[in-house]
Amino acid sequence: MPCDVRFRGRGWALLLAAPSALAACAPPGVQPTSEPASGGAFAPLAELRFDADGESDTFQVVRPPGTDTLALRVRLGTEAALGGPYCLQLVDVVASNGARWVSDGASPDTWGLACHDCAQRVFSAIGAGLYVFPNDGVDLPAEVTGLDARVALRDCATRTPLAPSEAERARLRATVEVGAFALGAGRTLAVSVYVAAPLALADATSLGGALLDEGLAAAASHWAPAGLALRFHEPVLAEVPRTTPADVGAADSGALDALAGEASLALGETAAGGATLILVPCLRAKSLLADAPSEVDGHTPRIPGGFAADGYGDAVLVRTGTCAGPPQPYWLSPAAFGRVVAHELGHYLGLYHIDTPDGLDLHLPDVSWDNLMHHIPSSVVDPGLTARQAHVALHHPLVR
């Protein structure tokens, strides 16, 4: 089958070519490996090189008939770690009906942690990212049969464009995998729980699994009205409880990667096919351009989370203790703990804050201040979720 190609920007766009023709149609810099997968699995789509501006050529994703969600997994090859960390962003995303979902890579809209003025939100991640469409709370139009996109390198310290050296260009490769999913009858997210630091109440002297069970039940209660069931696996306790702070940062994922690796080994197969919640004694996060980390109640490194490449931390972190001196119990009630767990799982499922000016403000029009995704969920009287927020969460590939 002949290719229908044209030049746009820095790369060639494969326009509505059959998946089996991708290899014959590939421009320099794009190495197709197989056709898109449907029915829930990811399949390799292309291997991308980067130009002097740190952007790849354009690649095409075909939407199989009868599917509701397109999801892209993008990751750097293992050799990238030799000079990293490197951050990635999905840019110049155009649907087959001509709608521009994400601005081109030169636009400041795509700088920072997230594309804050894009029709569909994308998040800049360290080393690997998951991009799920739709994430605007509306069904994909029937006429959208695919999309074109490119991948751009970002400086992890600033999330601004990164121009690689010739040596970096010679070794850096980004692999794109694609999955197409149809919404089924299931509306459940499985969550594994790794207890690196036990949960206790601030006014209690004893530790108990009942407190954790009650807190997780409270988290599930926030999502039930949105039509999503959270199914928590039996918590797994660390052999040696952690007493040191868990420090995470927007520019360095080393500590998180190590902690997530520890949790993965302890959880085994139960961690497959779902989200992972890790409880740590003290949690400190350093935002972009910040001089020092600050204490936070919870942290999710990627929005959305899930399907991270090997070696990259993929989990929700929630603290159980204070950070000043030896860790002391932090939470006043299981309900308060559960609200933060529910909030962080919202990030994992693709939801952003509704009220912060740092690029993470929610882009959905039907939200109000009384919302679970307020950046301080404990300050909200009735932390609900809107129909569009539920729509985004239910389209996550791990919800089954």
Report percent pLDDT > 70 for the chain: 84
CA terminus-to-terminus distance, the chain? 36
Residues 175 and 265 in one domain: no
Mean pLDDT for all residues in the chain: 84
Residue with the larger pLDDT of the pair 77 and 64: 64
Residues 310 and 234 in one domain: yes
Report percent pLDDT > 90 for the chain: 54
Residues 326 and 211 in one domain: yes
The last residue of one of the domains, among 162, 181, 200, is: 181
The last residue of one of the domains, among 137, 153, 181, is: 181
Decide if 400 is inside a domain: no
Residues 226 and 143 in one domain: no
Decide if 260 is inside a domain: yes
Q: What is the DSSP string of 8-37?
A: ETTEEEE-S--GGGHHHHPPTTEEE-SPPE
Residue 278 burial by Cβ neighbours in a 10 Å radius (0-12, 13-18, 19+): buried
User: CA-CA distance, 339 to 312, in Å (whole number)?
Assistant: 26
Residues 172 and 198 in one domain: no
**Position 313 pLDDT exceeds 90:** no
User: CA-CA distance, 53 to 89, in Å (whole number)?
Assistant: 13
The helix-helix angle for 209-223 and 334-348 (nearest 10°) equals 50
Average pLDDT (36-57) is 83
Task: Give phi and psi for 389, each to the nearest 5.
Answer: -60, -45
Residues 231 and 329 in one domain: yes
Q: CB–CB of 340/377 below 8 Å? A: yes
Beta bridge partners of 89: 152
Residues 9 and 42 in one domain: yes
**Position 24 pLDDT exceeds 50:** no
Which residues, including other chains, have CB under 8 Å from residue 272's CB and lie 6 or more apart? none
Q: What range does the domain containing 76 cover? A: 5-181
Residue with the larger pLDDT of the pair 368 and 389: 389
**Position 33 pLDDT exceeds 60:** no
User: CA-CA distance, 11 to 58, in Å (whole number)?
Assistant: 5
* pLDDT at site 82: 53
Beta bridge partners of 299: 317
Report residue 312's pLDDT band, with 50, 70 and 90 as the boundaries. confident
Decide if 220 is inside a domain: yes
Q: Which three-class secondary structure state does DSSP give residue 99?
A: coil
The last residue of one of the domains, among 181, 213, 239, is: 181
Go through 53-66 and write b for each residue having 16 or more CB atoms within 10 A of its CB, e for each that does not.
ebbbbbbbbbbbee
Decide if 316 is inside a domain: yes
Q: CB–CB of 169/83 below 8 Å? A: no
| Distance (Å) of CA 252 to CA 158, 208, 239, 314 | 12, 34, 26, 14
State pLDDT tens for residues 67-100: 999 999 999 875 555 566 789 999 999 999 999 9
Residues 138 and 196 in one domain: no
Residue with the larger pLDDT of the pair 163 and 289: 163
**Position 291 pLDDT exceeds 70:** yes
The answer to which of 33-37, 102-106, 326-330, 343-347 has the lowest mean pLDDT is 33-37
* pLDDT at site 298: 95
Average pLDDT (386-400) is 94
* pLDDT at site 365: 79
Residues 143 and 90 in one domain: yes
State pLDDT tens for residues 233-248: 999 999 988 888 898 8
Decide if 399 is inside a domain: no
Cα angle value 277/283/286 (rounded, 5°):
115
Residues 144 and 256 in one domain: no
H-helix segments, the chain: 22-25, 166-171, 209-223, 254-267, 334-348, 387-394
* pLDDT at site 288: 78
Q: How many domains does the chain have?
A: 2
Residue 13 burial by Cβ neighbours in a 10 Å radius (0-12, 13-18, 19+): buried
Length of the chain: 400
Q: CB–CB of 73/177 below 8 Å? A: yes
Give the count of beta carbons closer than 10 Å to the beta carbon of residue 317.
Answer: 27
Decide if 133 is inside a domain: yes
Look up the CATH number of the domain holding residue 332. Answer: 3.40.390.10
Residues 140 and 259 in one domain: no
Decide if 23 is inside a domain: yes
Decide if 108 is inside a domain: yes
**Position 206 pLDDT exceeds 70:** no
Distance of CA 6 to the CA centre of its chain: 32
Q: Take residue 171 and report the two structure tokens written for it.
A: 């070794």
Residues 163 and 194 in one domain: no
Look up the CATH number of the domain holding residue 28. Answer: 2.60.120
Average pLDDT (279-292) is 85
Determine the number of helices (DSSP H) and then strands (DSSP E) in the chain: 6, 22
**Taking the model in full, what pTM does it have?**
0.88
* pLDDT at site 1: 29
Beta bridge partners of 291: none
